[in-house]
Structure formats: structure tokens, C-alpha cells
């Protein structure tokens, strides 16, 4: 599959915009591979999280996102950005299979395992199993990330940290729990 042209055009603009408006701190960028398949998975705090991830690497990230983004006039834009639409009302096997195909072609996937923006008090919502499933089926490393802080214009209060990659080796349920614990513990640590 060809890389989405619109993504390559807007990514530098997004990177500059993020640096000017939100001034994020990027930690652990060396953990994102320069080539080969990978899955970025972490907490979801805001609609801007995808833009923050896009601004973190020159690699194209194919995000799994709610299918409503590929309906109506938005369809043209989001399809050209290479997103993978997910029907969140079902276990969307088609979206999972498409993500697996991208990984098999040595591409990068971005996913928020919580499935939605966390607006609650807990550090994370329960993780859905799709992230560890696609990683195990393709032997792709998962690069956990945490987003901490607020998207406040012209403030330096936003951080994205990429943790060490890991490969799924145990059963999916165990790996999913460990993955969620890694993210949760890192978020709790950041609060101290």
C-alpha cells in the first residue's frame, strides 16, 4: 500500500504548529524505530493526541480511529491521512485485519487501547485487546507511550514519553494487563 500523500504534506505543518502552540516535551524518541513495523499504544487524553504523535516522528502512523471520521465531508481528509476506521459498537475484525496487513508491510500503527478519550479520574480506562493481538500476530514491537499534561496554548505543560519497546510473548490477556499496568504506573509516577 502506498503511503498517504496528505499525511506527508501535513505532518511538517502539524509539527511546527504543535511546537509553536503547545510546546510539548518529547522523551524517548529513540524508541521509535527508523524502519520496520511497530505499534504505538498509549493513553488518550484529548482529540489532539493523534497530532502530537504525528509530530513525534517522520514515520507515517496509521491510526485506528472511530469510523464516524470517514463519513460525510470528513471522509476525503481522513482517508487521505491513512486512518483505519473502527466500528466501536462491535469487535471490528475488519479494522484489526487491515491494521495487521499494514504491519505486515512494515508500516507503523497508532492506537489508543482505551478506545476513547479518558475523561475520568483514573489514570487509564480498561485496555481493549486489539493492540496486543495485532502485535503478536505480526511480531511487531509495541512502543508504549504516555501523554501527560494539558493542551494549553503557549505553555510548556505537555509531555509525551515513549517507553522501551516490548514484544508480546505471553497470552493476550496477561500481556494486555501488563501493558495497561506499565502505562498506568508511569502516569501515576508522573503525578508525584
Report DSSP state, residue 81: T
Instruction: Give me the mean pLDDT over the 91-113 stretch.
Output: 95
Q: What is the 3-state secondary structure (H, E, C) of 171-190?
A: CHHHHHHHHHHHHHHHHHHH
Cell matching residue 9: 504534506
Taking the mean position of all CA atoms in its chain, how far away is CA 113? 8
pLDDT digits (tens, 9 = 90+) for 21-67: 999 999 999 999 999 999 999 999 999 999 999 999 999 999 999 88
Alpha helices in the chain (DSSP H): 5-21, 49-54, 74-80, 93-104, 130-138, 172-191
**Residue 192 pLDDT > 70, yes or no?**
no
Predicted confidence (pLDDT) per residue in 66-87, tens digit:
887 878 777 778 888 889 989 8
Question: CB count, 10 Å around CB of 24?
Answer: 20
Write out the three cell numbers for 108: 507503523
CB 171 within 8 A of CB 164: no
CATH of the domain at 42: 3.40.1130.10
Sequence-distant (6+) residues with CB within 8 A of 167 are: 135, 139, 140, 141, 142
Reported pTM: 0.93
Which pLDDT score, from 0 to 100, does residue 190 have?
57
Query: Using an 8 Å Cβ cutoff, are 84 and 132 in contact?
Result: no
Q: What integer pLDDT is reported at residue 75 of this predicted model?
A: 77
For residue 36, the enclosing domain spans 5-191
Sequence length of the chain is 192
- pLDDT, position 4: 87
Count: domains in the chain: 1
What totals of helices (H) and strands (E) does the chain contain, helices first?
A: 6, 7
Amino acid at each position: 500500500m502506498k503511503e498517504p500523500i496528505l499525511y506527508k504534506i501535513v505532518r511538517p505543518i502539524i509539527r511546527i504548529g504543535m511546537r509553536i502552540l503547545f510546546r510539548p516535551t518529547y522523551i524517548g524518541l529513540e524508541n521509535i524505530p527508523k524502519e520496520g513495523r511497530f505499534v504505538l499504544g498509549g493513553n488518550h487524553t484529548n482529540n489532539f493526541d493523534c497530532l502530537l504523535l504525528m509530530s513525534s516522528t517522520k514515520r507515517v502512523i496509521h491510526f485506528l480511529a472511530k469510523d464516524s471520521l470517514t463519513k460525510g465531508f470528513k471522509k476525503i481528509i481522513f482517508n487521505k491521512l491513512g486512518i483505519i476506521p473502527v466500528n466501536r459498537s462491535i469487535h471490528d475484525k475488519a479494522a484489526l485485519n487491515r491494521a495487521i496487513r499494514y504491519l505486515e508491510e512494515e508500516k507503523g500503527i497508532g492506537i489508543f487501547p482505551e478506545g476513547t478519550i479518558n475523561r475520568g479520574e483514573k489514570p487509564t480506562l480498561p485496555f481493549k485487546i486489539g493492540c496486543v493481538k495485532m502485535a503478536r500476530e505480526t511480531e511487531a514491537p509495541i512502543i508504549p507511550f504516555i501523554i501527560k499534561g494539558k493542551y494549553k496554548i503557549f505553555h510548556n505543560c505537555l509531555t509525551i514519553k515513549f517507553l522501551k519497546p516490548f514484544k508480546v510473548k505471553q497470552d493476550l490477556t496477561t500481556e494486555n494487563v501488563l501493558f495497561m499496568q506499565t502505562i498506568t504506573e508511569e502516569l501515576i509516577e508522573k503525578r508525584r
